[in-house]
Each structure stands twice: as C-alpha cells, then as structure tokens.
Amino acid sequence: MKRILTVLIVLMLAVSGLVFATGDAEATDDGTIVIGHTANNVGIDSYQTTHDQVFRDTVAALEGVSAIQLDAGGDVALQINQVEDLIQKNVDVIVIWPVNGKAIVPAAKKAFDAGIPVLICNSLIDESGYQYVKGFAGPDTYEEGVNAAVGMIEALDGEGNVVELMGMPGYVTAIRRSEGFQDKIADDAPGIEILATEPTDWNREKATRVMENLLTKYQNIDGVYVADDNIGIGALNALKEAGRAGDIVMTSACMFGEGYDAMEEGFIYGSVYQSPAEDAKKAVEVAVKLANGEEVPFWNFFETPVVTKANMDQFERPNF
C-alpha cells in the first residue's frame, strides 16, 4: 500500500464546481488508503446523486480510508484529465464510472501502466479495456434488459409491436440494457416486433418528445420498453397526453421512486430494483480490497430483483 500525500481538494478543477472531496487537504504518512473516484455526472439524475453521497458516507465510516472524489459532469475529456490527475497523485486505487466506455480505455491503460489498480463501477468499460482494469462493481445491466423483456413477453402474451426508449448512445449501460432486451425478444418472442429504438440521453423531457413522435409515427404500438424509470415517466407523460396511458404496456430496466408510484397506479407493468446505495457500497468494498492487494473476481454484481405489481409490496419505494 502506497504512503502518499492525501489531497482531498483539487484546486485546478474546484473552480468549475466539478470536484468533491471527503475532507480538507492533509499530508499523511500513516498508511491511509486513498481511493481516487471519478464519477460520470452526479447532477444528471437522483440515482447518481444518491450513489455519490453513499460513496462518501461509506468511505467516511471506514478507518484508514479516504477519497478524492471528482465529477466529470458528463464530459469524457474532463474525465480523462481527472484520471491522469489521480495517476499523478499516486492514489492507491482508481474507481471510474465511465462517461464513455470506449473513450476512457486509454486513460485506464495509463493507470495500468503506472501500476495503479482500476475498478470500473456501475457502467462497463468497452471490452477492449478489460485487460487494463481489475474488475467491475455494479449491476448486471444486460440481465436487467433481459428481465424487462420477460415482463414484456408476459404482458403481451408474446404478440405485439414494441418501441424502445434507450439511454445515451455510446454509454455501455444503455447499450447492454438494449442488447439484453432485444436478444431476449428475438430468442423467445418472434411474435413481438420492435418497431423502433430511439435514444433519450437519459433525459426525461427528451423522452417525452421521443414518445410523442413515436405515437405520431406508429398507430399500432402495444408496448414501450424504457431503459429506466426516469425515461419511463417522460414517456408516460406523452402517453397520458395522448390518452394511451395504461393502454400501452410499459416495462423498465431500473426502478425510480416515481416509477414505483406509476406501477402502483397500473401504468408500468414491470421494472428492476437497482439500489444506488448498494451500488456505491459494492464499489467501495471492492476498491478497498484492490488497494490492499487482494485478489477479487472480475465481476462483482449486486442483486437487482424483478418488481411487478404482484410483489412490489416486498420492496421499499426508492428514494431517488
């Protein structure tokens, strides 16, 4: 374990408001583990905001562990710079929530070459970068897409026309959730046709506009698959305006609080329970092991159970 100068405020980036830290800058030679973490975009939705706060709280509760926490703000060039800065600071482990799974690969390689273990969290890096990272901690997003497809097949009895509202192009979580859904439909439900797959950039307002356009373009939509409930609420707003809410089946790959409410009202057939708190805790847990030189599995998933109206009383309403 490296003995280093723990710098918890990065002055160069603090002016932009994109840097967060767990405490004041302080020199130490006491063997403290320093985790360098660059997040995707903390302010984009409540999931990432919760994840960021739990990550901080989890680190703060651990003796002998501190963190330099940075936020790329959705800017892949900034995230690359942040990784390079963490390498210069010689942190014990770097945790990356990638803005773009492919573009971040060269930065991961630089950390690898510098002898610093890298952990990818929440959203996968491109496969070309697997050789440079020690593992992944987060949800199995492909399986989440599969589970959303199972719900759609069940709700439509294997027959119908479906549209898909995915997340952001190039973002591996969006890609994997889409692939899981599409593969399961192709394998098990030849009677279901996916009429269109449209990006929403994880933006609720854009999801509303996309759904409005799809309703105009296609008169025979039976189901809509959304990459998460934030997108789902945007789509639901368009369905309500068109008088189609409850008529068109909706399944989702990640449940939010408002999605929980919409399921209770009968507007969402099924979703997947993904806790940002468990997500963050898993990332810290694995990062500390890597910093201590322990061997960890490459895949470190946490549970993401399927939720429908039939079993939703077994789950607390998400607080994000």
Region 178-182 average pLDDT: 97
Asked if 246 and 295 sit in the same domain, the reply is no
Residues 6+ apart with CB under 8 A from 11: none
Asked if 182 and 72 sit in the same domain, the reply is no
Instruction: Give the pairing of strands 135-138 and 160-166.
Output: unpaired
Domain span at residue 204 reads: 141-273
Is the Cβ–Cβ distance between 252 and 230 less than 8 Å? no
Asked if 204 and 216 sit in the same domain, the reply is yes
3-class secondary-structure state, position 45: coil
pLDDT mean across residues, the chain: 90
Residue 251 belongs to some domain of the structure: yes
Residue 314 belongs to some domain of the structure: no
What pLDDT is stored for residue 319 in this prediction? 80
Asked if 119 and 213 sit in the same domain, the reply is no
Residue 80 belongs to some domain of the structure: yes
Q: Which of 254, 273, 292 is the last residue of a domain?
A: 273
| Tokens of residue 146, six digits | 């599969």
Q: What is the pLDDT of residues 242-260, one digit of tens each?
A: 999 999 999 999 999 999 9
What pLDDT is stored for residue 36 in this prediction? 98
Domain count along the chain: 2
Pairwise CA distance, residues 207 & 238, whole Å: 9
Band the pLDDT of 11: cuts 50, 70, 90: very low
Region 222-241 average pLDDT: 97
Which CATH number is 96's domain given? 3.40.50.2300
Q: What angle do CA 46, 309, 210 make, to 5 degrees?
A: 50
Pairwise CA distance, residues 81 & 71, whole Å: 11
| Tokens of residue 319, six digits | 């607080």
Report pTM.
0.75
Q: What is the pLDDT of residues 107-149, one digit of tens each?
A: 999 999 999 999 999 999 999 999 999 999 999 999 999 999 9
What pLDDT is stored for residue 58 in this prediction? 97
Asked if 42 and 145 sit in the same domain, the reply is no
Asked if 294 and 260 sit in the same domain, the reply is no
What pLDDT is stored for residue 172 in this prediction? 84
Pairwise CA distance, residues 153 & 172, whole Å: 24
Around Cβ 76, how many Cβ atoms within 10 Å?
A: 18
What pLDDT is stored for residue 29 in this prediction? 54
Q: What is the pLDDT of residues 45-98, one digit of tens each?
A: 778 899 999 999 999 999 999 999 999 999 999 999 999 999 999 999 999 999
Region 19-39 average pLDDT: 65
Residue 173 reports pLDDT greater than 70:
yes
Residue 60 belongs to some domain of the structure: yes
Location of structure tokens 């969006």: 174
Asked if 104 and 251 sit in the same domain, the reply is no
Pairwise CA distance, residues 38 & 98, whole Å: 8
Residue 191 reports pLDDT greater than 70:
yes
